Chains A and B, each alone.
Chain A
Amino acid sequence: QAHLQESGPGVVKPSETLSLNCTVSGGSLSSQYWRWIRQPPGKGLEWIGNFYYSTGTTYNPSLRHRVTISVDKSRNQFSLKLTSVTAADTAVYYCVREFGFSSLWGQGTMVTVSS
């Protein structure tokens, strides 16, 4: 049974870079869609970006200029970097694996942007 676990700092200062990792256990990064999705407190869900081995990365146009998603197969990790953060980036960040009938979400990690 695959499992996803997000990790990273819970607090990031304004204008700095938010970095998160998603560690995959019981599965491989070599297939399926890998996504980052976030949810500001009390608000709805927002897609950040995808990684798929055959097509590479795609990003939310509203975040594209600040986002990098990458994969480290040797560590079985899927990563997110978001630059120049502001309070509007405060959210629970989820890593997600989906393809066809398969859907698996991490538990999410709260990131607060604050000085």
Chain B
Amino acid sequence: DIQMTQSPSSLSASVGDRVTISCRASQDIRNDLAWYQQKPGTAPKRLIYGTSNLQRGVPSRFSGSGSGTEFTLTISSLQPEDFATYYCLQHREHLTFGGGTTVEIK
């Protein structure tokens, strides 16, 4: 089974900060990776698919990069509505989520 290790598990940041979240796959997943944002009490929302493709309607301050086993979600300038939990998901072999990163207000 492919394991996804996401880091950090939480972070504190201020509005305007650049934020980076990482995911490491236990084996090569090519570019079969997506990123999701979840706010309390709501369903997750996909932000990025295919490692770097921005979902329609998602602000351009979100970007994804990586390949193989190392992947990154970057928020270029954190906005108040971005405080949430973020998950990576690999779908190369079955599906596996990362453990999540909670972005909190500093």
A interface, CB within 8 angstroms of B? 35, 44-47, 50, 58, 60-61, 94, 98, 100-101, 103, 105-108
Name A35's contact: one of B45, B49, B95 (CB within 8 Å).
B95
Residue positions of B touching A, CB distance < 8 A: 1, 36, 38, 42-46, 49, 53, 55-56, 87, 89, 94-100
A-B contact count (CB 8 A): 44
Q: How far is the CB of A96 from chain B (nearest CB, A)?
A: 8
10 smallest CB-CB distances across A and B, nearest first, come from A47-B95, A103-B46, A105-B43, A45-B97, A44-B100, A108-B43, A44-B99, A45-B87, A94-B43, A107-B43
* Chain B hits for A44, CB < 8 A: 87, 97-100
A50 and B95 contacting across the interface, CB-CB below 8 Å = yes
Interchain Cβ contacts under 8 Å between A and B, 15 examples: A44-B87, A44-B98, A44-B99, A45-B44, A46-B97, A47-B95, A47-B96, A47-B97, A60-B95, A61-B1, A94-B43, A101-B55, A103-B45, A105-B44, A107-B42
Bound CA span A107–B45, Å? 11
**A100 CA to B50 CA in the complex, in Å?**
8
